[in-house]
Amino acid sequence: MCGITGYIGKRKACQVVLDGLCMLEYRGYDSAGIGLFDEKGKMQVAKKAGFVSGLKKLAYDRQGCCAVGHTRWATHGLPNTANAHPHKCGRFCLVHNGIAENFAGLKSDLQKKGKKFLSQTDSEVICALLDDLYDGDVLDTMGRVAKMIKGSFAIAFLCNDFKDKIFVIKKNSPLAIGLGKDESFVASDPVAFAKYTDKTVYLKDNEMGIVDKNGLQLFDFCKNKKTVHIQNTNLFCDGDGQKVKSFTKKEIFEIPRALRHTANDFFADDKIISKTIDIFSKNDKVILTGCGTAYNACLVGKYTWEKVLRLPVQTELASEFRYQNPIVDKNTVVVAVSQSGETADTLQATKLAKSRGAKVVAITNVSHSSITKNADLVLHTKAGQEVAVAATKSYVTQILLFLCVASVLCKQSKAVKEIKKQIDDLPYLASKALLLDDKISKLAKEHCKKQGVFFVGRGLDYPLATEGSLKLKEVTYMHSQGFAAGELKHGSLALVDKNVLVVGIVTQKKVADKTFNALHEVSSRGGKVLVVTQFEKMAKEFGADGLLCLPGATDLLMPMIAVIPLQLFAYHVSVARGINPDKPRNLAKSVTVE
């Protein structure tokens, strides 16, 4: 959600910054812009609604060695050129991620002083505030402005009085500095500059800095100098420079590899295993929290841990967690799941948990993300960079880590041995599920115009139904709902007719008959039924309108196998409806504001 890039050095800044913005397109955006000092030292701004490709045509060949860029996801104001970043006020040119919650009051005060505004954004207010307070001491002005803003912000700006510097401020929104030889980079995600340097400084909350070609000077908001800690990061920049028809499909087909790397990495790290056992053995309450797909992974995690460990587990939507005065104390473990590690609601949930003495375990795909700073233990999903907005390979690796943790916490040696054997089989089973692709493509064309779709399942198939539904909504814009199969006749059956598709997920032997009973009720009322199952004989006896047969596996593996055809179904329906599945409307990859 929104992206910041910046560059100062010997290269053409426009090209570096715009190429960096392309690397951040996965975050979701609706407009893009760039601000720079040209070869004569004049501040220039180019911005427009739409994609970075359009901005490149406008500004790629501009000269100059110092620039900042931005991709905007609309919060305050329409997604148009006027509201696009950068914003320019007096001596300053600014890009901003986050939300200034008190911008309306600040704007009113500035208007009384005669300030004029060209946009509806909170970000322009920050730029105007910088210009209003500036007295020649940029550092002092930055600190004063930072203390006045309520909310979250990652800010990078240029000042006309310092044509060889980029200024940065950070609070509750990610910002990183890349350090090279006679050049420096700024980005909200270091993947934007990963091809140039692996030396990265991750700004902490309430820090501000001055970036030039020689490096970074770091301060707190009171102008006290801070030590710069450089980390060596080796980011996996999948897709950099590649011509890929669809990242969504590409990433679904990378699931076997992601599963293998995640399991191998976990079991090879004795320190992680030891710390996992230590944290969970000393606490008597477990809460799993996340948003969207990550929350659906938590639902699977709950079923898995309760089944294997007989451990009571609570799941909470991170967006609701801190507003309901949760019962959390020093005997609680809060497991926070976030693909990006920057999800605002999940991040705030971890801060609340820590403030009450709880232990925090983070499951994330980005090892140096904000959420890792609050965690007592970080479990890293080795999915590689995920570009498409809809989470696919990251979801299955999140579920896998829940199973991996269960295997090391389980006290029954026979069960542990069996679980590990099952995990070894997973990449192969996932590869077999991918062979359904052609058949799914045909089914998608057949059902792409349905008025609505229901996904139903029981036990471990229930959270799978909610995830299948979410994927379809995200990339096809079709109305969809996922729920427990037994709930079908408690209201939703009233919506079933010939224009409705019901996807029945039947992978759990214990409840298979019950789920098929619910699907019979759908068929008897004219609804179309697509069955996703490993029980081919039962499905054929039922007489489904469509059948996707999965490779046979034990209950605990099925959520990671059965989700693959659901992801492919959403992808193919999206294509059949003429929609770009990689960049669904109104959605961002990383939701960094509440």
Arithmetic mean of pLDDT, 499-512: 91
Q: Which residues pair with 226 in a beta bridge?
A: 218
Give dist(CA 431, CA 354) in Å, integer: 40
Claim to verify: residue 313 and residue 405 sit in the same structural domain: yes
Claim to verify: residue 356 and residue 480 sit in the same structural domain: no
pLDDT band per the 50, 70, 90 thresholds, residue 239: very low
pLDDT at 589: 66
Q: Where are the beta strands (DSSP E) in 415-551?
A: 452-457, 480-484, 500-506, 528-533, 546-549
pLDDT band per the 50, 70, 90 thresholds, residue 30: confident
What would the pLDDT profile of 453-503 be if each residue is shown by its tens digit? 999 999 999 999 999 999 999 999 999 999 988 887 787 777 787 888 999
Give dist(CA 92, CA 421) in Å, integer: 60
For residue 81, give its domain range: 3-232
Q: Which of 132, 116, 126 is nearest to 151 (CA)?
A: 126
131 falls within a domain? yes
253 falls within a domain? yes
**How many CA atoms are closer than 13 Å to the CA of 83, on its beta-carbon side?**
17
Give dist(CA 349, CA 445) in Å, integer: 41
pLDDT band per the 50, 70, 90 thresholds, residue 244: low
Within a 10 A sphere around the Cβ of 58, how many other Cβ atoms? 15
337 falls within a domain? yes
Claim to verify: residue 189 and residue 116 sit in the same structural domain: yes
Q: Which of 292, 286, 386, 398 is nearest to 345 (CA)?
A: 292
What would the pLDDT profile of 559-582 be if each residue is shown by its tens digit? 999 999 999 999 999 999 999 998
pLDDT at 1: 63
Mean per-residue pLDDT over the chain, rounded: 91
pLDDT at 241: 41
What would the pLDDT profile of 326-356 be if each residue is shown by its tens digit? 999 999 999 999 998 888 899 999 999 999 9
Claim to verify: residue 220 and residue 348 sit in the same structural domain: no
What would the pLDDT profile of 176-224 be if each residue is shown by its tens digit? 999 999 999 999 988 899 889 989 999 999 999 999 999 999 999 999 9
Claim to verify: residue 379 and residue 503 sit in the same structural domain: no
User: What b/e string do you get for 225-262 counting C-beta neighbours within 10 Å, with b at 16 or more?
Assistant: eeeeeeeebebebbbeeeeeebbbbbbbbbbbbbbbbb
Residues of the chain with pLDDT > 70: what percent?
96
Q: Are the beta carbons of 462 and 483 closer than 8 angstroms?
A: yes
pLDDT at 588: 67
Number of independent structural domains in the chain: 3
CATH number of the domain encompassing residue 74:
3.60.20.10
Q: Which of 200, 202, 212, 168 is nearest to 37 (CA)?
A: 212
* pTM, rounded to two decimals: 0.77
- Amino acid of residue 540: K
Q: Among 214, 232, 250, which residue terminates a domain?
A: 232
Claim to verify: residue 273 and residue 388 sit in the same structural domain: yes
What would the pLDDT profile of 250-272 be if each residue is shown by its tens digit? 999 999 999 999 999 999 999 99
Arithmetic mean of pLDDT, 419-432: 92
pLDDT at 234 over 80: no
589 falls within a domain? no
Q: Are the beta carbons of 68 and 35 closer than 8 angstroms?
A: yes
Helix/strand/coil for 150: coil
Arithmetic mean of pLDDT, 426-446: 95
Q: Among 372, 401, 434, which residue terminates a domain?
A: 434
141 falls within a domain? yes
Claim to verify: residue 409 and residue 284 sit in the same structural domain: yes
Q: What is the DSSP string of 68-79?
A: EEEEE--SSS-S
Claim to verify: residue 258 and residue 225 sit in the same structural domain: no
Claim to verify: residue 45 and residue 183 sit in the same structural domain: yes
Annotated catalytic residues are: 2, 589
pLDDT at 280: 93
592 falls within a domain? no
pLDDT band per the 50, 70, 90 thresholds, residue 590: low
Claim to verify: residue 92 and residue 189 sit in the same structural domain: yes
pLDDT at 398: 98
Claim to verify: residue 306 and residue 415 sit in the same structural domain: yes
CATH number of the domain encompassing residue 505:
3.40.50.10490
Q: Among 168, 203, 232, which residue terminates a domain?
A: 232
8 falls within a domain? yes
Claim to verify: residue 389 and residue 446 sit in the same structural domain: no
pLDDT at 236 over 50: no
587 falls within a domain? no
Give dist(CA 347, CA 361) in Å, integer: 12
